[in-house]
Amino acid sequence: MTNEAANKRSPSMSALSEANRNRILLAVDEAFERQVTFLSELVRCVSLRGQEAGIQTSVEAALQDRGYKVNRQVIDTALIGQHPAFSPATITYENSWNVIGIQTPAISLGRSLILNAHVDIVPTGDPNRWQDSPFKPTRRGDWLYGRGSGDMKAGLSAAIFALDAIKAAGLELTAPVQIHSVVEEEITGNGAAMALASGHVADAVLIPEPTDEKLVRANSGVIKFAITVHGTPAHPREVSSGVSAIEAAIRIIDHLCKLEARWNEEQVTKPFFDDVDNPAALTIGTIKGGEWIASVPSSCCFEGRIGFYPGDKPQERMKEFEAFVATVAAEDPLVQRCSEPVVQWVGVVQAGYTLAPGSEAESVLAQAHIAADAPDGPPLKAYVMAAYLDAALYAVHAGIPSLVYGPIAENIHAVDERVSLSSLRRVTKTIALFAAQWCGVRPACNKKFAEKI
């Protein structure tokens, strides 16, 4: 929280009345089936990287209908390499844009808020391994299945319907609130980076990623790499005259596991990370090599990511990584025989963040979390997420208190991804109560608007 925000205390900052709280909770319940319908529509959108225009058009329309001031925001690639929030991009961004919806009260009394959610999703893998088509939202018991249902279209629906509920309760926020529907979280973070770099800041940001209704205390810094190695192609009749690029790639991967182990060992000295399982988490996400079944393959490329700790500069970790690969190239007897492996940075290069315990934002969220599961839910737990989160950008580059808190989901990035609808309902309530308390509320002037939604 900025000093300015601390000074914005006003009558609206007093605890929500029980009546208002109950009205908000009831409004979430009343709209919940519509929220699930909306979420299902979002899941139907195949918003893979570069294909987000469809879902963003839907989100844009949803926000316009609700009276937000809405802007499309194209990623300005000239900022990449200039503004520290950006990571290297390997694609053009013509068809990938953020949608930013803003509500500004006539008089601002409370603390401003950004609700951020990303719309991009990762590929589904073989759709035949799914119970249902990955893009056919399917309700089964408490779960809604579909790629992106948990990560994080449910969270986006929660943000929108939480603010709806405040209005439906006859209230309006007394501080500016923004909804950022962003692209590129799954690869570079450049969607959120663009929102931040263009001056869209607030006194807090809340990102409803699927966190099992827990708060993220810290995340890991992440760097995403591609390594290409060239061997010497040959005919199988003279294997020894060739050097297999696939074999060399496998050797490099094998060595990188030692780097992962070394970085994991550092966890004992890192606050919050000491009991995290595999905080560095080297994963090789893709590999592609060779072009003919009966030739010693000439080239192989693999992509992956590796993590480190809040406070570590990603540039230092990149240097360490590059030096490690160079050492492998110099010392491994097989890799020696290849041309120098080429390391490229093809996605996020970003530091991790820590949400220092004891912040006002966390305190307000913790109260909202308990109150959402009326009459009294369990206390808010916090944990470490050893992965990249857009929250890091706000925390690291703008010092904004960043809360990552969202519904229970299973199998994100995997087969049969699903989100718990009862959890989504609770989280929507938590966000609504959090926004009401953080921004402050007063009886709505614009009754017509309240009735409309």
Nearer to its own copies, 123 or 357 (CB): 123
Least distance to its own copies, CB of residue 264, Å = 11
Exposed/middle/buried for residue 279 (C-beta within 10 Å: 0-12, 13-18, 19+): buried
CA distances from 282 to 48, 184, 245, 257 (A): 23, 21, 21, 7
Give me the least distance between CB of 300 and its own copies, in Å please: 7
Classify the C-alpha dihedral 183-101-355-22 as positive or negative. Answer: negative
Give CA–CA dist 407/149, Å, rounded. Answer: 10
Query: How many Cβ atoms from other residues are within 10 Å of residue 249's Cβ?
Result: 26
Looking at the Cβ atoms of 277 and 376, the one nearer to its own copies is 277
Comparing CB distances to its own copies, the nearer of 12 and 96 is 96
Q: From CA 65, how far away is CA 69, in angstroms rounded?
A: 10
Q: Using an 8 Å Cβ cutoff, are 157 and 183 in contact?
A: no
Q: Which of 236, 357 has the CB closer to its own copies?
A: 236
Distance in Å, CB of 186 to its own copies, minimum:
7
How near is the Cβ of 343 to its own copies at its closest, in Å? 14
126 vs 376 by CB, closer to its own copies: 126
Least separation in angstroms between residue 338's CB and its own copies is 12
**Least Å from the CB of residue 18 to its own copies:** 37
Please give the single-letter amino acid code of residue 242.
G
Bridge pairing between strands 441-443 and 171-173: antiparallel
Q: Least separation, in Å, of the C-beta of 32 and its own copies?
A: 27
d(CA 166, CA 168): 5
Q: Which residues bind its own copies (CB under 8 A)?
A: 122-123, 125-126, 129, 151, 186-187, 222, 224, 226, 230, 232-237, 239-242, 244, 246-247, 250, 253-254, 277-278, 281, 283-300, 302-305, 307, 346-347, 385-388, 412-415
Is the CB of 104 or the CB of 295 nearer to its own copies?
295
Least distance between its own copies and beta carbon 206 (Å): 19
The alpha carbon of residue 337 and the mean position of all alpha carbons in its chain are separated, in whole angstroms, by 40
Residue closer to its own copies, measured from CB, 402 or 437: 402
CB atoms within 10 A of CB 142: 14
Closer Cβ to its own copies, 18 or 238, answer by number:
238
Are the C-beta atoms of residues 329 and 340 closer than 8 Å to each other?
yes
Phi, psi for residue 200 in degrees, rounded to 5: -85, 90
Look at residues 50, 35, 30, 355 and name the one whose alpha carbon lies nearest to residue 207. Answer: 355
